[in-house]
Amino acid sequence: MPGLRSLPWVLAALVSCALLPADALAFTNVAVGDTLENVELPTLAGGREALLSPQAQANVFIFFRPQQENSQLALKAISDCERQLAGKPVHWVAVVSSSWSAQEVKASVAAAGARIPVLIDQGDVLYGRLGVRLHPAIGVANGKLQLVAYEPFQAINYCDRIRGTVRYALGEISKAELAQADAPAKALMPNEMKGAVSNRHVRMGEMYLGMQQPDKAAAEARLILEQDPRFAPAHVLLGDALSSQGKCEEAKLAYQAAVKLSPQLLAAVQQKKSPCAGQ
């Protein structure tokens, strides 16, 4: 069961947090600048794939755990980055423990919209070799297979951080420019923080829809609307969730509320392939 399966990782994370400096939490057995040992692992699709590609100028890999919120958000961010950097010499893979079933992994990957190969770490050998302790853990290596950086998870602008590190590995920006891009932004004002939190709940709701869990998606939407009833994307999310449940009249009202608040959403709503279409 996922609950029992996650216990060793929880205990490991607690020990890591107690004994290790903050910047060493992602991989405890390798440091930035180290050359990584390349390995070939079976993939979720049934083939085999290398963790790293010497032909690429940058290698990005993510260790994730299905059914974990932060892992889902990180998978979504890395998928967005992969699309934004399409055409560049970057090799992308995700890595998951073999303790998860193929069905669980496929549901997680589909919900995030990920298209990158998913490697199955049989017996968690690679986990142990790198010393992966927390999820999600994203590493970036250059064409020489040297670890350039690992990116700790953050809920906001995560793709921006990953993209900056990849551009550094590609030689498009300098280390100083990367540091400047990573400089902490100004503190968010209360109204800006509310919008960031609302968007985060919308993304989670969309992932729940992808996992065929419209009840949880609707709960995310209603949670937002309790705090900010004028947040149009939450009304769209609620409409999508209600439509998936076959509650067409309620879904129609939710869509109408979204368009009333934000008329530019009309085209997007009209193009939805809703189970309630035509009703």
HEC string of the chain?
A: CHHHHHHHHHHHHHHHHHHCCHHHCCECCCCCCCECCCCEEEECCCCEEECCCCCCCEEEEEECCCCCHHHHHHHHHHHHHHHHCCCCCEEEEEEEECCCCHHHHHHHHHHHCCCCCEEEEHHHHHHHHHCECCCCEEEEEECCCEEEEEECCCCCCHHHHHHHHHHHHCCCCCHHHHHHHCCCCCCCCHHHHHHHHHHHHHHHHHHHHHCCCHHHHHHHHHHHHHHCCCCHHHHHHHHHHHHHCCCHHHHHHHHHHHHHHCHHHHHHHHCCCCCCCCC
Give the model's pLDDT for residue 199.
81
| Same domain, yes or no: 165 and 264 | no
- Both tokens of residue 211? 């996992």
pTM of the model: 0.61
Judge whether 275 lies within some domain: no
| Same domain, yes or no: 149 and 223 | no
Compute the distance between CA of residue 38 and CA of residue 22 in angstroms, rounded to an integer. 26
| Same domain, yes or no: 82 and 166 | yes
The count of domains in the chain is 2
- Both tokens of residue 152? 């700790």
The answer on pLDDT for 180 being more than 90 is no
Judge whether 279 lies within some domain: no
Report the CATH number that the domain containing residue 234 is assigned in CATH: 1.25.40.10
Judge whether 67 lies within some domain: yes
| Same domain, yes or no: 167 and 259 | no
| Same domain, yes or no: 18 and 126 | yes
- Average pLDDT of the segment spanning 166-187: 73
pLDDT in tens, 115-158: 999 999 999 999 999 998 888 989 999 999 999 988 888 877 78
- Residue 151 structural domain: 2-181
| Same domain, yes or no: 175 and 257 | no
From 181, 208, 236, give the residue that closes a domain.
181
- Average pLDDT of the segment spanning 215-238: 90
pLDDT bucket at 58, cuts 50 / 70 / 90: very high
- Average pLDDT of the segment spanning 163-191: 72
Judge whether 48 lies within some domain: yes
The answer on pLDDT for 192 being more than 70 is no
| Same domain, yes or no: 156 and 196 | no
From 116, 147, 181, give the residue that closes a domain.
181
| Same domain, yes or no: 92 and 18 | yes
The answer on pLDDT for 194 being more than 70 is no
Judge whether 277 lies within some domain: no
Residue 196 or 107, more confident: 107
| Same domain, yes or no: 259 and 197 | yes
**Amino acid in the structure at residue 201:** H
| Same domain, yes or no: 38 and 153 | yes
Give the model's pLDDT for residue 204.
81
Judge whether 15 lies within some domain: yes
Phi, psi of 213 (to 5 degrees): -125, 70
| Same domain, yes or no: 78 and 103 | yes
Report the CATH number that the domain containing residue 82 is assigned in CATH: 3.40.30.10
Judge whether 122 lies within some domain: yes
pLDDT in tens, 7-46: 444 344 433 333 333 444 568 898 889 999 999 999 999 9
Give the model's pLDDT for residue 211.
75
Least confident of 10-19, 58-67, 89-98: 10-19
Judge whether 224 lies within some domain: yes
From 161, 181, 201, give the residue that closes a domain.
181
| Same domain, yes or no: 153 and 40 | yes
